[in-house]
């Protein structure tokens, strides 16, 4: 794959060309030259777009696919296509399939489904057998097969000894152990944040402290066992404080939040729109401000779109009975770029691979071309026309967003949206 990118502003702090407007020459998937102006002596295909910006390819570790077992929600081929159209060159695939991904053969199957694609997909193995929380999965074998982390998607680890054993294993393997922060004995049957809104709407609440209890327990176990703990999708001010203090004490803990928990508060639930039913639930405005601060100061390591396609039969129900979850790949950049400066949004989208021991490139001569092309100044209202997922359960429908993805370059391939 040979290309010449014209007049692109580089957003990459690791690159010597950061903030410069340059031409980028790519030969056989490798960046061979970067300069103010490059002569196209070999008549390579040229890419030139309005207000073109480029960065290292974006990464999100929490993507649900559906295949195998839930192909009515989506499949691997389309999920990778959605990721590419949304600017992502690398994604993690969650194990919430049928069967649950808890064996090496299933890890290898996911890798086979995603092989030879412009988007690189890395499977996450289930921490416990069938994600039932009773017995550790075959962690070593799955790691050998290509798993990058282990966790039970949206299911907390009820048995503390299981988390202890998993963290002790990660002392040597360095794989992140994911522990979803939700104390089920407290939040059971809850569907929304415990607040004035839950009382007004008459919906069962999920108290914030159901998240805090789980995090406090997990940090205590981490302090004892060592290892590498990742706490996915925190949602409250107190959670930020707990993790910030744990990091100051030197504990090996990382965490994420979701883009929708940064964008929407629980007042958006007034219309009983089930696309706003997510887990963790939408919290208060005070929580949102604390989450934003934690993203900026690095307490929160990753922001995920937590892409979870669900067919209409699971969403077109009474609020109490609808499933938790929203798709998010297509709207992620536009939402982040709306909340933060473009440079901050790109930093968020490109950080975090090291947590999962994944290589990260840079826009420099001699590097493999792993690039996202975009226009940060494109304002629009996100509608169903922007949804490429098979399922349409987007929390961002009819929301004003900012930023347009032109395409990606990765794995010696190029894919454009225009």
418 pLDDT higher than 90: no
d(CA 307, CA 65): 8
The answer to the question of residue 394 being in a domain is: no
308 pLDDT higher than 90: yes
Indicate which CATH number applies to the domain containing 8: 2.30.40.10
Indicate whether 128 and 259 sit together in one domain: yes
The answer to the question of residue 387 being in a domain is: no
d(CA 154, CA 372): 30
Indicate whether 263 and 140 sit together in one domain: yes
Indicate whether 180 and 40 sit together in one domain: no
Section 204-209 average pLDDT: 96
d(CA 262, CA 246): 22
Indicate whether 46 and 82 sit together in one domain: no
Indicate whether 264 and 350 sit together in one domain: yes
pLDDT category, 292, cuts 50, 70, 90?
very high
pLDDT digits (tens, 9 = 90+) for 323-356: 999 999 999 999 999 999 999 999 999 999 999 9
**Active site members:** 306
Range in 186-190, 319-323, 405-409 the model is least confident about: 186-190
Six-digit token string for 389? 């997922």
d(CA 94, CA 182): 18
Section 208-234 average pLDDT: 98
Identify the three-state secondary structure at position 61. Answer: strand
Identify the three-state secondary structure at position 25. Answer: strand
Total domain count, the chain: 2
d(CA 308, CA 15): 34
Indicate whether 289 and 336 sit together in one domain: yes
Indicate whether 34 and 71 sit together in one domain: no
The answer to the question of residue 93 being in a domain is: yes
Indicate whether 17 and 95 sit together in one domain: no
Indicate whether 132 and 25 sit together in one domain: no
The answer to the question of residue 395 being in a domain is: no
Contact between 265 and 284 under an 8 Å Cβ cutoff? The reply is yes
The answer to the question of residue 391 being in a domain is: no
184 pLDDT higher than 90: yes
pLDDT digits (tens, 9 = 90+) for 7-34: 999 999 999 999 999 999 999 999 999 9
287 pLDDT higher than 90: yes
Six-digit token string for 326? 């929203």
Locate the DSSP E strands across 221-338. Answer: 229-231, 253-258, 302-304
Residues spanned by the domain of 21: 3-54+364-377+401-416
373 pLDDT higher than 90: yes
Indicate whether 193 and 171 sit together in one domain: yes
The answer to the question of residue 382 being in a domain is: no
Indicate which CATH number applies to the domain containing 88: 3.20.20.140
The answer to the question of residue 256 being in a domain is: yes
Give the pLDDT score at 56. Answer: 98
Section 231-244 average pLDDT: 98
pTM given for the model: 0.96
Residue 273 burial (C-beta neighbours within 10 Å; 0-12, 13-18, 19+):
middle
> What share of the chain has pLDDT > 70, as a percent?
100
The answer to the question of residue 390 being in a domain is: no
Indicate whether 218 and 86 sit together in one domain: yes
Six-digit token string for 324? 């938790």
Indicate whether 351 and 368 sit together in one domain: no
């Amino acid at each position: 794959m040979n290309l010449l990118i014209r007049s692109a502003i580089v957003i990459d702090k690791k690159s010597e060309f950061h903030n410069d407007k340059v031409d980028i020459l790519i030969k056989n998937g490798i960046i061979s030259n970067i300069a103010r102006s490059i002569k196209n002596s070999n008549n390579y295909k040229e890419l030139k777009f309005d207000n073109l910006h480029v960065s290292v390819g974006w990464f999100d570790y929490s993507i649900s696919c559906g295949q195998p077992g839930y192909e009515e929600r989506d499949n691997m081929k389309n999920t990778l296509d959605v990721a590419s159209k949304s600017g992502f060159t690398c994604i993690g695939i969650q194990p919430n399939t049928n069967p649950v991904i808890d064996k090496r053969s299933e890890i290898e199957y996911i890798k086979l489904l995603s092989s030879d694609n412009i988007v690189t997909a890395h499977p996450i193995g289930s921490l416990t057998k069938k994600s039932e929380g009773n017995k550790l999965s075959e962690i070593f074998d799955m790691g050998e097969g290509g798993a990058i982390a282990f966790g039970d998607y949206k299911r907390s680890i009820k048995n503390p000894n299981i988390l202890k054993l998993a963290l002790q294993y990660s002392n040597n393997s360095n794989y992140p152990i994911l522990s979803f922060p939700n104390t089920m004995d407290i939040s059971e049957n809850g569907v929304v944040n415990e607040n004035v809104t839950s009382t007004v709407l008459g919906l069962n609440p999920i108290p914030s402290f159901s998240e805090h209890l789980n995090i406090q327990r997990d940090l205590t176990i981490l302090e004892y066992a060592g290892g590498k703990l990742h706490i996915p999708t925190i949602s409250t001010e107190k959670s930020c404080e707990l993790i910030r203090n744990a990091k100051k004490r030197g504990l090996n803990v990382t965490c994420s939040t979701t883009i929708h928990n940064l964008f929407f508060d629980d007042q958006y639930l007034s219309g009983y729109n089930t696309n706003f039913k997510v887990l963790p639930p939408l919290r208060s405005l005070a929580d949102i401000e604390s989450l934003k601060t934690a993203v900026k100061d690095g307490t929160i390591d990753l922001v995920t779109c937590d892409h979870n396609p669900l067919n209409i039969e699971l969403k077109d129900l009474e609020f109490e009975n609808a499933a938790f979850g929203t798709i998010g790949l297509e709207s992620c950049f536009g939402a982040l770029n709306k909340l933060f400066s473009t440079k901050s949004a790109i930093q968020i989208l490109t950080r975090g691979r090291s947590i999962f021991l994944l290589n990260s490139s840079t826009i420099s001569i001699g590097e493999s071309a792993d690039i996202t092309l975009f226009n940060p100044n494109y304002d629009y209202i996100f509608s169903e026309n922007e949804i490429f997922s098979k399922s349409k359960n987007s929390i961002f429908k009819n929301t004003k967003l900012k930023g347009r993805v032109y395409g990606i370059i990765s794995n010696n391939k190029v894919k454009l949206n225009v």
